[in-house]
Structure 1
Amino acid sequence: MTPSQSLFSPRSPQPVSQTASSQRAKQKFLGFVADAPTAALLESGFKATLTNGGTFHIVSFRTTLAMLSRIPCPETLLVDLTGEDQPLSAMLELAELVEPGTTVLIIGPARELSFYRAVVHGMGVREYVSKPLTAASIASLLLPHIIPDPKPIATAATGHIIAVTGVRGGVGTTTIAANLAWMIGHDLHRHTILLDTDLQTGTAALALNVDPSRGLASALQSPDRMDSMLIERVAQPAGDRLHVLAGQESLTQRLDYPEGAAKTLTQALLGRFKFVIADTGARQLPFAREVLELAPQRVIILDPSIMSLRNYDRLMAQPATANTRTTLVLNQAGRPYGLSQKLMEQTLSIKFDIIIPDLPRIIPKAEKFGEMGISTRGPFRDAITQLAHQLGAAEPTNRAFPKIAINA
């Protein structure tokens, strides 16, 4: 048989009637393998190339023929000849079921060189690989014939990741983050999630009167399974357009996450929410630090204290993206025995963007009774409203259709 007569060589398909079977979409890749270990090895070797998942059936060659007679032939076909005493006859039977243009790969027991030449050079099979397969043989002999799945086109995220952090503990980071999230989600009607990056001692869930979930730690440890649907199950609702993602893990539990888990999480959150308000606190835990580095917008909270002056430059030295925008907030301005706003601005050579006056009665009272500080009109609500607007939060223009705007 000459190459021009090759049974499996690419040929122009002949016109056929458009039956229901032929109209079904072709699979990109389909494999028929005689044993589970070989199938597992192939799946592992192909997963980086066939990102949409190649399908492997663990069946005999006879069952392979029966299945191929009932389904559309895939673009690339891998068949195992294990168990066939007459392999050339088996190949002729297979050729009757393979459509023109199909790439055929064969695996099976070690054969003589004459058999290899007959199927590869004579019949037009792209490759015959002897078992047992190895990762090296798969990579060098089979993968070159697999057309990789197209990479997904990266789309620019349209949401906002805002990291709220304090220069030290006790400056009101969680209070401001929680009220900011409430303002954007409840008052401005934007889909918002409050993310607490302290999975052991964080209080963001408490600030919004919801229960923390243990699912966040598990999600971070398995970022490959993280998507918007998983986030929906883990996050706790705090309103129609407001959710909280927090944890309350044991203080003795060691929290280890793969590199890039925070990025995967924030991208999954942006698939569902327009605003991600991350309470990154002041402790600079690894997860908090990674989120802080990723956030294009940072809100830095200071109070009128010597400690704030000392820690400010250290916090601002944290790595940031090229386009990171920083909003400086002075909380508890005018506090008794505190530093003046003017002195702090002169010492740090800065200008505060938002000033929140010292409100020793309003904020502690609201927190004691489980209320939001912005629920009362006054200087605190005005400051949080101003902060929300500076961060790009505004009421959507399509408020006539509140149930349709999924990511408004």
Structure 2
Amino acid sequence: MSAIDMLRPFNSAAAHAVDLLAVFSDATSVDAAKSLIVDQAIPNAHAQIGSIDDAIRLLQNLPRPPRQLLVDVSGSDMPLSDLARLADVCAPSVAVVVIGDRNDVSLYRSLLEIGIQDYLVKPVTVELLLRALSARDPSAQARTGKVISFIGARGGVGMTTIAVSLARHLADETLRHVVYVDLNLYGGAAVSMLGLPASNGLTDLLQDTRNIDPPTLDRAVVAAGERLFTLSSELPYETDFAVLPGALSELITTLKRRFHYVLLDLPARSGRIVDEALDASQVVCIVADPSVYAARECMRLLRFTEDRPGEAVISVLLNNPLEPVADRVQPLDFKRAIGRAVVHELPYDPKPLARAENLGEPVGARRKPLGFAAAIERIASSLTGRKSPAPTPWHARLFKVRRTS
């Protein structure tokens, strides 16, 4: 598609992939961007008049993130707050140049701290835009996504169910770009839970992590929604596949530049893949069930993870995948055994989980978040820093029933 064609207005229903997206509040700046696109023969570019809200809507409907974004905050009373809303839908890989009408050094420094590539003060010219898009300020902080690893204290604790549910919530409710990486190279359960076909995109990328460009990554991931993508493999059982040292670390670094969240589903408790995944993680979630064996393995995993060179935040998730009975370990005893408070406890909630696992249906899709779905919402809120509604006390629900009866 030619540069001239890309200057024509387009709406969300007919949104196409672009590498450069420019949204300005005035026609003069738009004309400068259009001249730049034509002069430099930039393919796959689009420039239009609009607000930061228009830029957000365009980003939400593009099939893939642009490489560069020019966005105007002129007239905004709270530019940092507006850009925080933009960051919710803008992948970390996007190089963002902000245009404004305030010559404010403190604002410029604040923008660099949050990962903005450059800040230009109006009026903008073709030369000014070209220089901003061509150079990266070494003092600017690179925007990267958060890596979260999930590891089970034992089999059958519902680790993948929790991780898949969290990935769906982050993508659908918080509007973040999420990639779910199932590191069981011989076929994990995540793809089936999401109702997706099997692929070998993960092992394809691990074979040569030095040459992963955007088209290669787009071919490897499988879309599970507008903002949720998966990387997995289903190698034949008789196939040997050796992951080279550092390959997973390099792949995670690439994914962090493209997605807000990288969720890693770990297959076992040892080996190079697990070591590199844990070392690259900002958060490690150890999932256990209320059993003596799970408590013992949870303590071993806590020591193993805490002794690693990284500084990951370690969370213990106590799940109840089976119907509670009297002889299981009680939550308070579990906390005492492992020597720390459990961050989140997830309840026994079989019906929505059965639909989620076998029908590919999101947990809580048919009702307001209750039970397991509400716990997932609270976990997501703790990761994003957003507040979630506190669970309604049982006695308040009882009084409500009485008043309506």
Normalised TM-score (structure 2):
0.57
Whether the 8 Å contact between 1:196 and 1:280 is mirrored in structure 2 is yes
What percentage of residue pairs aligned between the two structures are identical? 28
Structure 2 residue corresponding to 1:368, chosen from 358, 368, 375: 358
Letter in structure 1 aligned against 2:335: E
- 3-state DSSP class of the match of 2:149? strand
**1:204–1:283 CA distance, 2 compared to 1 (3 A):** farther
Provide the rounded CA distance (Å) in 1 between the counterparts of 2:299 and 2:176: 33
Provide the rounded CA distance (Å) in 2 between the counterparts of 1:213 and 1:285: 23
Task: Indicate whether 1:385 and 2:373 are aligned.
Answer: no
Task: Indicate whether 1:335 and 2:324 are aligned.
Answer: yes
Query: What's the Cα RMSD here?
Result: 2.6
Determine the structure 2 residue equivalent to 1:195.
181
Provide the rounded CA distance (Å) in 2 between the counterparts of 1:181 and 1:340: 28
**1:155–1:264 CA distance, 2 compared to 1 (3 A):** farther
Letter in structure 1 aligned against 2:328: G
Task: Within 5 Å, give how 1:8-407 maps onto structure 2.
Answer: 156-316=142-302, 317-318=304-305, 319-332=307-320, 335-336=324-325, 337-375=327-365, 376=367, 377-392=369-384, 394=386
Letter in structure 2 aligned against 1:347: A
- 3-state DSSP class of the match of 1:201? coil
Cα deviation, residue 272, structure 1: 1.2
Q: Which has the larger radius of gyration?
A: 1
Deviations 1:292-317 (A, max 9, x none): 22211111111001111121122121
Cα deviation, residue 394, structure 1: 4.8
Provide the rounded CA distance (Å) in 2 between the counterparts of 1:372 and 1:288: 27
Question: Runs ≥4 in structure 1, deviation > 3 angstroms?
Answer: 152-157, 281-286, 318-322
Letter in structure 1 aligned against 2:315: T
Deviations 1:122-158 (A, max 9, x none): xxxxxxxxxxxxxxxxxxxxxxxxxxxxxx9695453
Provide the rounded CA distance (Å) in 2 between the counterparts of 1:221 and 1:356: 37
- Structure 1: runs of 5 or more not aligned: 1-151, 396-408
**1:236–1:356 CA distance, 2 compared to 1 (3 A):** same
Normalised TM-score (structure 1):
0.56
Cα deviation, residue 251, structure 1: 1.0
- 3-state DSSP class of the match of 1:184? helix
Whether the 8 Å contact between 2:192 and 2:357 is mirrored in structure 1 is no
- 3-state DSSP class of the match of 2:364? helix
Whether the 8 Å contact between 1:294 and 1:320 is mirrored in structure 2 is no
Provide the rounded CA distance (Å) in 2 between the counterparts of 1:265 and 1:210: 22
- Structure 2: runs of 5 or more not aligned: 1-136, 388-405
Provide the rounded CA distance (Å) in 1 between the counterparts of 2:355 and 2:177: 28
Cα deviation, residue 223, structure 1: 1.5
Cα deviation, residue 345, structure 1: 0.7
Cα deviation, residue 167, structure 1: 0.8
- 3-state DSSP class of the match of 2:258? coil
**1:237–1:365 CA distance, 2 compared to 1 (3 A):** closer
Determine the structure 2 residue equivalent to 1:146.
none
Determine the structure 1 residue equivalent to 2:20.
none
Cα deviation, residue 201, structure 1: 2.8
